Amino acid sequence: MIDAKATLAASGHNPNKALGQNFLADASALEAIVDGACIDGKTVLEIGAGLGTLTAALAERAERVVAVEIDRSLETVLRGNMARYDNVRLIFADFLKLGTGELREALGGGEVHVAANLPYYITSPVSMKLLRCGLPIESMTLMLQKEAAMRFFAKPSDKIYGPLTVLSQAAYDAKKLMELSPESYYPRPTVDSTVIRLESRHTVLPRALDEICSAAFANRRKTLVNNLASCREKDKVIGALDLMGFKHSVRGEELSAEEFICLAELLGD
């Protein structure tokens, strides 16, 4: 395993806190994550390659790894650490700005497995992008801040229940793989982490789901009918709620992912 502390010292790179640079420094956690990711012979997308610790472990077992890293100042050390792997493609870019076409081309068009130790400061937008991008993502094994991980397991009416919960629960079954303490990273973060695994449910989701779901949570104080008035005729929304047996005063946060799927099917594009 790449020794983060020694590599940083040798390269003179100071971890960039603003980019969430807490590098994995726990060999048993690394092994458990790569085992849990089930990527043997698969195509893997990694977000935030850093020094290449996870990238190298993935490359040992995957068919190919496409790893995205925003920090150009890590390029020399990362390329050096990846030199012995001919199945790794490095993309130096902001993952949030990468087009799906470019990602698809780099990944080769087939099914994709995501594995990442996500930078804490953009966990939600990265997760939303993965859920919305339209790539055939079969599974995601994600290291996240503990609080951020809880969103994937939230229940209707929980404070943290929102579009991310609904979109992920609609498309994936989620389970927790392990908890990691700050000691597993260098430098140590101030928070605990959770490794989660999402596996595709292979459900064909209605195209309108994302739009309906985003509108439903736009203003949590408003009823679902009033929130959806921004994108659908009020009478149509009321008709759909009647069919589903909901009161007209229901709020978006009270619907489960399955109920959102049903509502999006009824409301259409």
Asked if 70 touches ligand SAM (CB under 6 A), the answer is yes
The residue nearest ligand SAM at its CB is 48
DSSP structure class, residue 230: T
Contact pattern for ligand SAM over residues 77 through 106, marking x by CB under 6 A: -----------------xxx----------
| Closer residue to ligand SAM, CB minimum distance, 143 or 208 | 143
Q: What DSSP string runs through 4-63?
A: HHHHHHHHTPPP-GGGT--EE--HHHHHHHHHHHT-TTSEEEEE--TTSHHHHHHHHHSS
Q: Is the sign of the CA dihedral 163, 196, 103, 169 positive or negative?
A: negative
| 263 lines the binding site for ligand SAM (CB under 6 A) | no
The dihedral of CA 195, 172, 138, 211: what is its sign? negative
Q: Restricting to residues 43-62, which ones interact with ligand SAM according to CB under 6 A?
A: 47-51, 53-54
Range in contact with ligand SAM (rule: CB under 6 A) among 67-75, 157-165, 221-229, 253-261: 67-75
Amino acid identity at 177:
L
Count of chain residues binding ligand SAM (CB under 6 A): 23
Q: How far is the CB of 188 from ligand SAM (least distance, A)?
A: 12
- 238 forms part of the interface with ligand SAM (CB under 6 A): no
Instruction: Quote the CA–CA distance of 120 and 42 in Å, as a whole number.
Output: 26
Q: Is residue 34 close enough to count as binding ligand SAM by CB under 6 A?
A: no
Q: DSSP letters of 61-121? A: HSSEEEEEE--GGGHHHHHHHHTT-TTEEEEES-GGG--HHHHHHHHTSS-EEEEEE--GG
* Shortest distance in whole angstroms from residue 12 CB to ligand SAM: 16
CA distance 81 to 74: 11
Cα separation of 15 and 23, whole Å?
9
Comparison of 50 and 162: residue with beta carbon closer to ligand SAM: 50
Q: Which stretch binds ligand SAM (CB under 6 A): 41-49, 200-208, 225-233, 251-259?
A: 41-49
Secondary structure element (H or E) that encloses residue 247, with its range: none
**Least Cβ distance, residue 16 to ligand SAM (angstroms):** 6
Kindly tell me which residue out of 7, 8, 20, 128 binds ligand SAM, with binding defined by CB under 6 A: 20
**Which 3 state secondary structure label does DSSP give 145?**
strand
Residues 100-139 that bind ligand SAM (CB under 6 A): 117, 119, 122
List of residues contacting ligand SAM (CB under 6 A)? 19-24, 47-51, 53-54, 68-71, 94-96, 117, 119, 122
